[in-house]
A and B are shown apart, each in its own frame.
Chain A
Amino acid sequence: MYRSHVLICGGTGCTSSGSAQVIDALEKELKKNDLENEIKVIRTGCFGLCALGPIMVVYPEGAFYSMVRPEDIPEIVSEHLLKGRIVKRLLYQETVEADTIKTLDNTDFYRKQMRVALKNCGVIDPENINEYIAYDGYQALGKVLTEMTPAQVIDTIKASGLRGRGGAGFPTGLKWSFAAKYDNDQKYVCCNADEGDPGAFMDRSILEGDPNVLIEAMAIAGYAIGASQGYVYIRAEYPIAVKRLSIAIKEAREMGFLGKDIFGSGFDFDLDIRLGSGAFVCGEETALMTSIEGHRGEPRPRPPFPAEKGLFQKPSVLNNVETYANIPQIILRGAEWFASIGTEKSKGTKVFALGGKINNTGLVEVPMGTTLRTIVEEIGGGIPNGKKFKAAQTGGPSGGCIPAEHLDVPIDYDNLIAIGSMMGSGGLIVMDEDTCMVDIAKFFLEFTVDESCGKCTPCRIGTKRMYELLDKISKGKARMEDLDQLDKLAHYIKENSLCGLGQTAPNPVLSTIRYFRDEYVAHIKDKRCPAGVCKELMNYYIDETKCKGCTLCARNCPVGAISGNVKEPHIINRSKCIKCGACMEKCKFGAIEKH
């Protein structure tokens, strides 16, 4: 029995900010103080506040330490763990209130959140199945296997209104019912853990923080559709997730949650991991299955749909991690409970990965229908440095940019589509006034061009040509006809591509043209980048009135583009300038401007 539990985030975000070293230091320090039998150290999954990592929570007080460094450990051990005095300077400032501390749940970051899929993340030890069990783990599987028929399970999921959290938002229960309909000696349940949208990492966090929920949910899905084998397709770039899921699968087998005759019900189910090699397109369901089969990961035409002919040509169901993470709670708490959360057509919660120009970068889970404003301003803590919100990008390379005018639209599947974006897997990148929308469109197109599988013509060549047109625009070399061509190409690619990746690839361009057409026009007609991002359209100038002739800029210019005599105003030779900005950074008098 331990009198205190110290939870340290071992998610990828905190691991990269050094949580492993913190854990190491803590364990050593506890040993030194003879506390290792009194204080338990638990490496958890992601808490969501990745910008504050490494994160540490000490129970029973619930003290929330942020940005903990190994040097802080002796103080935490001697003061807090030994003497019971919370080290206030290390507390997450949001949690400090006058003399007391408030629990994390009462901070702005968490208060507006509702954690369903992330329920156990940051709460339990993901490498210990018993902790999952303590939090009602495998109760849903037990209930399903001992009290429900497969049809009842599907009906429950249908009634809950759960829709796929990976992209298009297809109703999960309906999907299961299709696969259940086909008779076959072998069916498969697959999990898409090949999270690939730039900036999205909710699936990784669930796998790292609560791997057993996936196992439980997939077993439930297996029971519902009549499958005895499951595959989790995880990207190999998620080593911690792979390790934790492997441990969880091993423990689940040992405990009998996987294997033969689970809960004495006669139901057999097992699960294996398949590693993806980092191709974005393998997040597309047919490409993912093709990859599991051992072939080059390329999409196949549909129909036949995977429910009829999926993995190895057998009826298959594929859901993503976050979708599965909702399943056990729907079973335990009921479809009505789940359906009571969210909007009319989008039920439950959605996890977003907040990134970009926002104070609280990290993972947040909110009820469907929460406005973008709530997420950005309240949960996300607003935009840093007093800058103005310009747009939020959702849906990754398949999504679009949402301008400030839509900040109060309740976010759900259908509303996002209506305003030219999509839910996607839940990446949410906030952009401030310094962001150039042409540049953003170009960024996403570059990604798509890179990640296109190369199978169908529109995506293989069309996206490349779109990128080239954007590049021309960003360099001030385009004419207005090019904008029409871009638009024509975008619509052609949407209509003609083989898979969802290609069909949605033009969205970032279409949505930025829709809301920020004037920026495109400024690049084309005025050869000007209003946000001052596109290098080719910018020039650096020295303000004669401010320049003191200190020569610092000239000495730091890597290409010798600045000339001038000492104590006299300098000038920049534009034909030599490579626009690196080194001069502006060095100038102590604010004499260098770019526009």
Chain B
Amino acid sequence: MVNIKINGMPYTVPEGISILDAAKQNGIDIPTLCYLRDINEIGACRICVVEVKGARSLVAACVYPVNEGMEIITNSEKIHESRKMTLELILSNHEKSCLFCVRSGSCELQKLAQEYGLDDPMAWAGEQNRYEIDESAVHMWRNNNKCILCRRCSAVCAKTQAVGVIGANNRGFKTHIGQAFELDLAEVPCVSCGQCITVCPVGAIGEKDDGPKVTAAIRDPEKFVCVQTAPSVRATLGEEFGLPVGTNVEGKMAAALRRLGFDKVFDTDFGADLTIMEEANELVERVKNGGKLPMITSCSPGWINFCEMYYPDMLENLSSCKSPQQMFGGILKTYYAEKAGIDPKKIVSVSVMPCTAKKYEIGRADQSAAGVPDLDISITTRELARMIRRAGIDFANLPEEKFDSPLGIGSGAGHIFGATGGVMEAALRTAAEWITGQPGAPLEFHEVRGTEGVKEASYKLGDLEVKVAVTSGLVNARKVLDAVKNGEKDYTFIEVMACPGGCVNGGGQPYQPASVRNFTDLKALRAKALYDEDAGMELRRSHENPAIKKLYEEFLEKPGSHVAHKVLHTTYKPRKRYDIKEK
């Protein structure tokens, strides 16, 4: 511990922590823009500058460590003026179309401009860079005219996701975020995870907004529009409406969807349960018949993209299961369409996902169980929130409603799919019973819970020892895969989720400013909402879901059957990393 003074007041804080943290611990906020804890600690934007007695110039509080006797001033005329000038300079090269910006209201720059009383829109006016908007990718766009070069996007891409397809190009005033050789985003091996979008402080990156497509479908009387919502969306949607992080809004969400005019409001949890049936069966089969091990989950489309482009030699390890979203869509347009007597061509299959890679996934080949695509439109949590607001729905005051039957019935196992370790635990719940043949096998597998990037456990299921690994954040996936490849590790089953912490922290989830991200464990709080719901449920094993049981009785026969393969499985193929088109 060291003794320091901040603004003249004495404090005792741990040695070596940043000035930013030392101040925060003692109730003093220092603004930041580029800083993201553990991800982007580069001291670039200079918003967090403070005075340190004896220092030659102002220092960046986000990266400057405290030491004994340090005297810090965070709030002086000089500091205020410096921060204000930094903001003015940033704004002098920023497309100030705030009225029309998707981030208006959630923009970190806008908030600071307000706080620091910026009053001259022409301050430091001069040349402004003009860039074309990159709309090449299926899932997102990037508008460099709004970019403030905080580098949060490129840091998360490289450090959290080990992808690193975006970064700073050119120098000085001409610096901009781009891809190697100024290729389009669609031409480089971006995995579509969308993490860059969630960390962008301004409106420089966004998901392609498919909300209007959904609205158009709903307004088309010829269409039968069904929606499914991913497990994690209920744990985060409330944030968009001012509810605390970690509030489960399942009932209000169902009510809102119904009020938006969807013909059926279903739950991807059903698809998750179905995934467990097929995946657990596949695992048991592989173990029994000497199939390729370790088997790796295939629920996360960002992860699938990553595997196809960066680890094509491990595609055999992937489960052949489609993702829960796609399984759901397949069942919707085959089994459900037939049961309800609706032409699958008239069904518009919509999903609300925590994920931008889902926008890519719906266009994949071999994902058309009924001869038409399993999914038609996939929107993110953020897009749904926008639709709700636009429709004038008072979300906070909605009643709690239930999903429609039968595809709205999900188990607790399906719920926890939304957090890292959830798929593993759900699979273990079912596999444990199947392998031991005994009801009442263990239900909770705490070793695979938690937000760490890599978790390992070993379970004895009957005579079988199952060694599992759970990883999230592709940089961690790399570590696990490399360890498997070079023989250091020997697992039976691996769960991979592309986004750190799993879907609750997906690329389509609500924005949280760095001021929250840096001091709150979003992943853990959001995951808790799912685990809490699971803990309070009767139905906690996928294979006990009555709707699932009925589905197998009436249509799929048994897990891994011929028809199940046709509707619920697919193949994953190696993909070229650089898909460069002639211009």
> What is the interface of chain A, defined by CB distance below 8 A to chain B?
279, 281, 296, 298, 300-301, 303, 449-465, 468, 489, 492, 494-498, 503
Given contacts A301-B64, A461-B89, A497-B57, contact A454 B173 (CB under 8 A): yes
- B85: chain A residues within 8 A (beta carbon): 489, 492, 496
Stretch of B164-172, B378-386, B575-583 at the chain-chain interface? B164-172
Ordered by A's residue number, 20 sampled pairs between the chains whose C-beta atoms are within 8 Å are: A296-B168, A300-B42, A301-B42, A449-B173, A453-B172, A454-B171, A454-B172, A455-B44, A455-B168, A457-B45, A460-B173, A461-B90, A464-B126, A468-B126, A489-B85, A495-B78, A496-B58, A497-B57, A498-B44, A498-B46
- Check A461 against B92 for contact (C-beta < 8 Å): yes
- B82: chain A residues within 8 A (beta carbon): 492, 495-496
- B44: chain A residues within 8 A (beta carbon): 455-457, 498
Chain B 84-104 interface mask (CB, 8 Å, partner A; 1/0)? 011001101100000000000
- B41: chain A residues within 8 A (beta carbon): 301
- Complex formed: what's the CA distance from A523 to B518 in Å? 50
- B46: chain A residues within 8 A (beta carbon): 456-458, 496-498
Complex: chain A residue closest to B154, CB-CB = A296
Given contacts A301-B64, A495-B57, A496-B82, contact A453 B171 (CB under 8 A): yes
A455-B151, A458-B86, A496-B82 known; 8 new pairs, CB 8 Å cut-off, are A300-B43, A456-B44, A457-B44, A457-B149, A460-B173, A463-B173, A496-B58, A503-B57
- Complex formed: what's the CA distance from A503 to B57 in Å? 8
The secondary-structure label for the interface of chain A is: helix
- Check B173 against A452 for contact (C-beta < 8 Å): yes
Q: Is B65 located at the chain interface by the 8 A CB criterion? A: yes
- Complex formed: what's the CA distance from A465 to B122 in Å? 12
Given contacts A301-B60, A496-B82, contact A468 B172 (CB under 8 A): no
- B92: chain A residues within 8 A (beta carbon): 461, 465
- Complex formed: what's the CA distance from A468 to B172 in Å? 14
- A458: chain B residues within 8 A (beta carbon): 46, 86, 89
- Check A462 against B57 for contact (C-beta < 8 Å): no
Complex: chain A residue closest to B56, CB-CB = A503
- A495: chain B residues within 8 A (beta carbon): 49, 57-58, 78, 82
Q: Shortest 7 CB-CB distances between A and B: which pairs?
A: A454-B175, A452-B172, A301-B43, A461-B89, A464-B173, A301-B63, A468-B126
Given contacts A296-B168, A456-B46, contact A461 B57 (CB under 8 A): no
The secondary-structure label for the interface of chain B is: loop
- Check A496 against B86 for contact (C-beta < 8 Å): yes
- B124: chain A residues within 8 A (beta carbon): 461, 465, 489
- A492: chain B residues within 8 A (beta carbon): 81-82, 85
- Check B89 against A279 for contact (C-beta < 8 Å): no
Q: Is B127 located at the chain interface by the 8 A CB criterion? A: yes
- B86: chain A residues within 8 A (beta carbon): 457-458, 496
- B148: chain A residues within 8 A (beta carbon): 457
- A281: chain B residues within 8 A (beta carbon): 171
Q: Is B346 located at the chain interface by the 8 A CB criterion? A: no
| Shortest Cβ distance from residue A306 to the other chain B in the assembled complex, whole angstroms | 15
- Check B127 against A464 for contact (C-beta < 8 Å): yes
- Check B90 against A454 for contact (C-beta < 8 Å): no
Q: Is B517 located at the chain interface by the 8 A CB criterion? A: no
| Shortest Cβ distance from residue A472 to the other chain B in the assembled complex, whole angstroms | 10
- A498: chain B residues within 8 A (beta carbon): 43-44, 46, 60
- Check B173 against A461 for contact (C-beta < 8 Å): yes
From B64, B90, B171, B174, name the one whose CB has the most chain A CB atoms within 10 angstroms.
B171
- Check A496 against B49 for contact (C-beta < 8 Å): yes
Complex: chain B residue closest to A304, CB-CB = B65
- Complex formed: what's the CA distance from A489 to B151 in Å? 24
- Check A279 against B58 for contact (C-beta < 8 Å): no
- A489: chain B residues within 8 A (beta carbon): 85, 124
- A301: chain B residues within 8 A (beta carbon): 41-43, 60, 63-64
- Complex formed: what's the CA distance from A449 to B127 in Å? 13
| Shortest Cβ distance from residue A291 to the other chain B in the assembled complex, whole angstroms | 13
| Shortest Cβ distance from residue B471 to the other chain A in the assembled complex, whole angstroms | 24
- B93: chain A residues within 8 A (beta carbon): 461
- Check B173 against A456 for contact (C-beta < 8 Å): no
- Complex formed: what's the CA distance from A457 to B43 in Å? 10
- Complex formed: what's the CA distance from A453 to B170 in Å? 8
Q: Which residue from A303, A454, A465 sits with its C-beta under 8 Å from B149?
A: A454
| Shortest Cβ distance from residue A389 to the other chain B in the assembled complex, whole angstroms | 32
Given contacts A457-B46, A498-B60, contact A465 B89 (CB under 8 A): yes
- Complex formed: what's the CA distance from A495 to B82 in Å? 9
- Complex formed: what's the CA distance from A583 to B433 in Å? 98
- Complex formed: what's the CA distance from A300 to B170 in Å? 18
- Check B126 against A465 for contact (C-beta < 8 Å): yes
- Complex formed: what's the CA distance from A298 to B56 in Å? 21
- A451: chain B residues within 8 A (beta carbon): 171-172
- B168: chain A residues within 8 A (beta carbon): 296, 298, 454-455
- B78: chain A residues within 8 A (beta carbon): 495
- Complex formed: what's the CA distance from A462 to B88 in Å? 10
| Shortest Cβ distance from residue A194 to the other chain B in the assembled complex, whole angstroms | 15
- A449: chain B residues within 8 A (beta carbon): 172-173
- Check B175 against A460 for contact (C-beta < 8 Å): yes
- Check A460 against B42 for contact (C-beta < 8 Å): no
- A457: chain B residues within 8 A (beta carbon): 44-46, 86, 89-90, 148-149
Q: Which residue from B65, B81, B149 sits with its C-beta under 8 Å from A460?
A: B149
- Complex formed: what's the CA distance from A503 to B44 in Å? 13
Complex: chain A residue closest to B45, CB-CB = A457
- Complex formed: what's the CA distance from A148 to B122 in Å? 64
From B64, B65, B172, name the one whose CB has the most chain A CB atoms within 10 angstroms.
B172
- A296: chain B residues within 8 A (beta carbon): 167-168
From A281, A455, A459, A503, name the one whose CB has the most chain B CB atoms within 10 angstroms.
A455
- Complex formed: what's the CA distance from A459 to B90 in Å? 11
- Complex formed: what's the CA distance from A296 to B127 in Å? 25
Complex: chain B residue closest to A496, CB-CB = B46
Of residues 161 through 205 on chain B, the ones whose CB sits less than 8 Å from some CB of chain A are 167-168, 170-175
Of residues 56 through 75 on chain B, the ones whose CB sits less than 8 Å from some CB of chain A are 56-58, 60, 63-65
- Complex formed: what's the CA distance from A498 to B41 in Å? 13
Of residues 122 through 180 on chain B, the ones whose CB sits less than 8 Å from some CB of chain A are 124, 126-127, 148-149, 151, 167-168, 170-175
- B175: chain A residues within 8 A (beta carbon): 453-455, 460
Complex: chain A residue closest to B58, CB-CB = A495
- Complex formed: what's the CA distance from A454 to B34 in Å? 14
- Complex formed: what's the CA distance from A449 to B90 in Å? 16
From A281, A453, A458, A497, name the one whose CB has the most chain B CB atoms within 10 angstroms.
A458
| Shortest Cβ distance from residue B15 to the other chain A in the assembled complex, whole angstroms | 13
Complex: chain A residue closest to B171, CB-CB = A454
Chain B 22-44 interface mask (CB, 8 Å, partner A; 1/0)? 00000000000000000001111
- Complex formed: what's the CA distance from A503 to B60 in Å? 14
| Shortest Cβ distance from residue B440 to the other chain A in the assembled complex, whole angstroms | 52
- A464: chain B residues within 8 A (beta carbon): 126-127, 172-173
Q: Which residue from B42, B89, B174 sits with its C-beta under 8 Å from A454?
A: B174
| Shortest Cβ distance from residue B153 to the other chain A in the assembled complex, whole angstroms | 15
Complex: chain A residue closest to B93, CB-CB = A461
- B127: chain A residues within 8 A (beta carbon): 464, 468
| Shortest Cβ distance from residue A7 to the other chain B in the assembled complex, whole angstroms | 41
Complex: chain B residue closest to A300, CB-CB = B42
| Shortest Cβ distance from residue B429 to the other chain A in the assembled complex, whole angstroms | 43
- Complex formed: what's the CA distance from A449 to B173 in Å? 7
- Check B45 against A279 for contact (C-beta < 8 Å): no
- Complex formed: what's the CA distance from A279 to B170 in Å? 11
- Complex formed: what's the CA distance from A452 to B44 in Å? 13
Given contacts A457-B46, A457-B89, contact A496 B57 (CB under 8 A): yes
- Check A279 against B172 for contact (C-beta < 8 Å): no
| Shortest Cβ distance from residue B227 to the other chain A in the assembled complex, whole angstroms | 43
- Complex formed: what's the CA distance from A18 to B63 in Å? 52
